[in-house]
Amino acid sequence: MLNNFEIRIGTQFIFGRNVVSQVGKRMRGMGIHRVLIHHDGGKFLYDSGILNRIKESLQKEDIYSTELAGVRPNPRLSLVRKGIELAKREKVDLIFAVGGGSVIDSAKAIAMGAATDDDVWDYFTGAKEPVNTLPVAAFVTYPAAGSESSAVAVINNAEEGKKLLVSNEILRPAIAFMQPELTSTLPDFLSACGIVDMFSHVCERYFSPDEEIGVIDRMAEGILKTIVAVGSKVLREPDNYSCRAELMWIATIAQNNTVGIGRVQDWATHEIGNELSALYDVPHGATISIIMGAWMRYVYKKKPFRFCRYAKEVFDVKSENRSDEEIAYEGILRTEEFFRGLGMPTSFKDFDIPTNGIEDMLDRIAFRGTDDRIGGIVRLNRDDCRAIYTAAFENNEQQ
């Protein structure tokens, strides 16, 4: 049964070939006059010509633009603060993100900070609740995090070693431009990180403590199965427009809560993995591929039905008179096999991550609730998370 829920996805999507040509007219139609273009400064933006085309499209409609480059994976609070100062000084009325999830998250944070005199970090620590924001537009060049229509922004405070998020409906971008053919030149590792990220966003919602299977579960299973089929193919055929388009749209629906409504969600893999980003600056997709298998092996025996269902529906694992636990375990092995087939790490060792920071990472996890734990399908305390970190280091595949 679906629990009570509310959802409003107000993002307008402009999806398809050559949508960059529509940028200026769409901005003018929204009544926008002054724009801050935010991006990572990467070579791709210049070599592809996409940044110049966006500027030209804006200029054609007499829309003023200024720029702030320098976004890094695990976007930094320090750059957000610079963006807020610039947005206020230039009196912009929209933040235009050109990039992937890190750029869009950084743009969301700038938009929040530029609309208030509050310290934007207070929204991430929970000291204050955001009530206003400038509108955000996103031109997606890297489909992964789904930030182009999600209500979430994640920022890394490198000075404090904290990676925190804000979740609020006002953060959903007003408009998203999605041009799949642009992603054909992404390096394999970035494409693989994105595939793992979108896969995990669905899993965090799918692994719910409820054992009843309904329409949301079947939607999630279909998405996961498609990612497995398309994800491997796109690395072999990087110019395959159909595969690129599928993945770009999947990244969006994986994170805008389409398959998360009305259910208890998990998010333990993200919370445990995020500390690898905060402490070691590991790319987000790699933190997920490293932690997910270890998390699954640690919790699956407590909820074998759902993990068994996942194995059968996503990876076509056959029953063959085996128990739910045996089927579930094969699904876990298939998950890690899928990640490795994308060239992704599945252990600390694969990414040369030390284990001397485990206690530090545990200190930073926001255990909460009356039981002081994290997770949805299985509630995990500090000792549980330590065991998962240790298993991820060793990549212990023993059942």
Would you state the pLDDT for residue 390?
95
The residues that bridge with 84 in the sheet, in sequence order, are none
Query: Mapping DSSP to helix (H, G, I), strand (E, B) and coil, where does residue 353 land?
Result: coil
- Residue 134 phi, psi dihedral angles, 5° rounding: -75, 155
Would you state the pLDDT for residue 399?
44
User: Distance (Å, rounded) from C-alpha 7 to C-alpha 190?
Assistant: 30
HSE toward the beta carbon, residue 357, CA cutoff 13 A? 17
| Residues 6 or more apart whose Cβ sits within 8 Å of residue 101 | 142, 144, 145, 146, 147, 197, 284
Q: How far apart are the first and last CA of the chain?
A: 32
Is pTM beyond 0.85? Reply is yes
Quote the distance between the C-alpha of residue 18 and its chain's center: 25
* Tokens linked to 187: 């390096």
Would you state the pLDDT for residue 1?
55
DSSP states of 206-236: H--S-----HHHHHHHHHHHHHHHHHHHHHH
Identify the structural domains of the chain with CATH numbers, from first to last. 12-181 (3.40.50.1970), 188-394 (1.20.1090.10)
Q: Which residues of the chain have pLDDT under 70?
A: 1, 396-399
Distances in Å between the alpha carbon of 326 and those of 13, 86, 209? Answer: 42, 56, 19
Would you state the pLDDT for residue 397?
52
